[in-house]
Amino acid sequence: MKKNERKIFVLDTSVILYDHSAIGCFQEHDVAIPIQVLEELDTFKKGNDTINYEAREFIRLLDDIAKRDLLTDWIPLNGPTKGKFKVIARHDLNGVDATKVFADRKNDHQILNAALTLQRQNPDRKVVLVTKDIALRLKAKSLNIIAEDYLTGKVQDARQRLYSGRTVVEDFDESLIDDLFERGAMSPQELGVEQPSGNHFLVLKHKKKSILARFDPRTEKVLRVEKQSVFGISPKNAEQALAMSALLDPEIKLVTLQGTAGTGKTLLALACALEQRRFYRQIYVTRPVVPLSNKDIGYLPGDIQSKLDPYMQPLWDNLKLIKGQFEKHDSTPRRIDEMLENEKISIAPLAYIRGRSLSNIYFIVDEAQNLTPLEIKTVISRAGEGTKIVFTGDIHQIDTPYLDSESNGLSYLIDKAKGDPLFAHITLEKGERSPLANLANERL
């Protein structure tokens, strides 16, 4: 590739905090970071969150590079055929100055000036600012700087094309529906359907008759899915029945449930975990803590428990709902309380499980759309023998800055894991809350 065909990508802090290895992901193109990015990363290096880990790892990476070369010179990253890297420490402007255009000298505007400097110094090459900050991309474009999102780890067009986990077949042969109901298992060839991917669900319909099924990759058979009730919770629709079959199958070690509020994701996962409590050492139910203001919870009043309680309350609400399914004389609610006292059930923020053994655990991660792909990978990679992990979330309801429906960890996992014999997914679309709540989800 000719030099003028190679692009120069300028990365901002949001990209590094999302993926510390980002500078190596641009193949033969050159990559630069403004020195202001290093300043900002320095403020993120302390802490136990994933962004703190990303900041530390990138700083270590640069320190290793700096042992061999000056960071302000173009440095080959992976040999002569790959791109080069440098830190932009000084600006060379002749015209537009972002700090004057936008009336202050904040780091974002210094980053824009770094891109403008590279434009001036390389008039024959395309300079592209890469950032996960939408506002910064808009500012860049207003200064005639090409700006893009960081695409590594993104699931393109996830809102429309993300794997749903099921196929609905209308006008299916009625006699074959009857055969599958009687036999319980048939080959795809016998049913006249293409072989689905592992643990893919089927809804076979003929007028008012229908049957739910799942393709088992171990037997290569399509299995009838039966509706079942667990801990007082029964499926209210076909989607929930399919979800419960995956949640209760010991051979499926990784399950994702995606759907809007009110579809029953967390409730189903918790009920199925309780049903299988004898087969697991412990049940962990957790979620990431993401304050709506995106500020550290240390700014909130009270002790650490009072700060965390509001974020964990939805999990307690689901457990309370399950307990409420039983009559007063039933001992099940008391047994659930005993499991909590004995820590057979543990409900805590996701950060609290760091360093804990994940062997023989039924592990539920709620609000997984607020995790990055690396955080999802970190959780799964720590699973020990006998552990089952369930991720639930809504990719359209994200509270974490710089994540969206395409770049969040839940979308990434669903897209990458589909078809694996250990994995099953179902998208829950039908809300089972009050008619008023459904109106809000569907019309507002």
Domain boundary pick from 126, 148, 170: 148
| Tokens 């202050």 -> residue | 104
CATH code assigned at 279: 3.40.50.300
Amino acid 206: pLDDT? 94
Does one domain contain both 237 and 143? no
| Reduced 3-state DSSP string for 63-83 | HHHHCCCCCCCCEECCCCCCC
Amino acid 228: pLDDT? 92
Amino acid 295: pLDDT? 45
Does one domain contain both 142 and 265? no
| pLDDT(298) > 60 | no
Amino acid 292: pLDDT? 44
Per residue in 242-295, pLDDT (tens digit) is 999 999 999 999 999 999 988 999 999 999 999 999 999 999 999 887 754 444
Whether 369 maps to a domain, the answer reads yes
SS3 433: coil
Domain boundary pick from 148, 166, 186: 148
Percent of the chain with pLDDT over 90: 63
Does one domain contain both 136 and 238? no
Give mean pLDDT, residues 355-362.
85
Ramachandran area for residue 221 (φ above 0: left; ψ -120 to 50: alpha; else beta): beta
Does one domain contain both 265 and 385? yes
Count up the domains in the chain and report the number. Answer: 2
SS3 439: helix
* Gap between the Cα atoms of 431 and 368, Å rounded: 19
Among 180, 241, 232, 250, which residue's Cα sits nearest to residue 428?
241
Amino acid 293: pLDDT? 41
SS3 43: helix
Whether 198 maps to a domain, the answer reads no
Cβ 284 vs Cβ 354: under 8 Å = no
Does one domain contain both 259 and 131? no
Q: How far does CA 400 lie from the centroid of its chain?
A: 11
Whether 10 maps to a domain, the answer reads yes
Domain boundary pick from 114, 132, 148: 148
CATH code assigned at 80: 3.40.50.1010
Cβ 129 vs Cβ 142: under 8 Å = no
Q: How confident is the model at residue 349 (pLDDT cuts 50, 70, 90)?
A: confident
Q: How confident is the model at residue 325 (pLDDT cuts 50, 70, 90)?
A: confident
Instruction: Strands of 242-394 (E only): list them.
Output: 254-259, 282-287, 345-349, 361-365, 388-393
Does one domain contain both 254 and 128? no
Whether 305 maps to a domain, the answer reads yes
Look up the domain containing 276 and give its range: 232-443
Angle between helix axes 238-248 and 265-275 (nearest 10 degrees) is: 40
